Amino acid sequence: MAAELTPKQSAILDFIHGYVSENGSAPSLREIGRHFDLSVGTVQDQVEALRRKGALDRQPVQARGIRLPSSAGQIPILGRVFAGTLHAAMEDVEGHLAIEKSRNTSELFGLRVRGDSMEGAGIFDGDHVIVRRQPDANEGDIVVARIEDESTVKRLRYKGGRPLLCPENSHYQPIEGPFEIIGVVVELRRRFN
């Protein structure tokens, strides 16, 4: 499973993608270092971390040995979604998650979870959820929904034909509509360090 990228790693990866698009080849470690005002040793560490996370391939004996893997894609982390009481959702890109290109990444985005209302479903504060954009969902799906200008992650249930956003923590109450489904959670990412 590909791991979450740090903001610095995301920035370096974005620079490499842009450089390859413009020049047809990867930048050298020195060029990356100059762009970010980093030492070559620091760039080597970051590139190695990107390689370990599956975001890059590297051929260490070549001066421009950085390669973008054909199987790796990126989806944006659009901000935070709250699993708890409702809060305003942030829509600024705060990084990227590596994902297999075989998936339709145009429909996917990541969100960082804040709050504890979905602990019963195994979704904890600080986790990332990968969401597939879609305007509807089946009963029992874990969804990201918008109520006015606020977003939350909850399980979709129906009671008497009415949709409810249900937490998986007894300290929270279900939320009644109207609300708009933004998408369905299709994957969970968690860092252990």
Q: Over the stretch 65-109, which tens digit does the pLDDT of each residue have?
A: 576 665 456 677 777 777 665 554 545 556 666 666 666 777 888
Sign of the Cα pseudo-torsion (84, 133, 178, 162, in order):
negative
Task: Report pLDDT for 24.
Answer: 57
Task: Report pLDDT for 36.
Answer: 93
154 is catalytic: yes
Task: Report pLDDT for 155.
Answer: 97
Give the integer Cα–Cα distance in Å for 127 and 63: 37
Task: Report pLDDT for 163.
Answer: 94
Burial class (CB in 10 A: 0-12, 13-18, 19+), 21: exposed
Average pLDDT, whole number, for the chain?
80
pTM beyond 0.85: no
Whole-number percent of the chain with pLDDT over 70: 72
Question: Is 19's pLDDT higher than 90?
Answer: no
Higher pLDDT, 187 or 149: 187
Question: Is 162's pLDDT higher than 50?
Answer: yes
CA of 74: how far to CAs of 37, 39, 94, 106, 108, in Å?
Answer: 24, 26, 13, 10, 9
Task: Report pLDDT for 193.
Answer: 46
Name the residue among 96, 46, 95, 98 with its Cα closest to residue 72.
98
Catalytic residue (one of 10, 53, 117, 151):
117
Identity at 2, one-letter amino acid code: A
Catalytic residue (one of 151, 154, 159, 170):
154
159 is catalytic: no
**Confidence band, pLDDT 50/70/90 cuts, at residue 186:** very high
Task: Report pLDDT for 61.
Answer: 45
Whole-number percent of the chain with pLDDT over 90: 35
Question: Is 13's pLDDT higher than 70?
Answer: yes
Under a CB-based contact definition with an 8 Å cutoff, are residues 98 and 3 in contact? yes
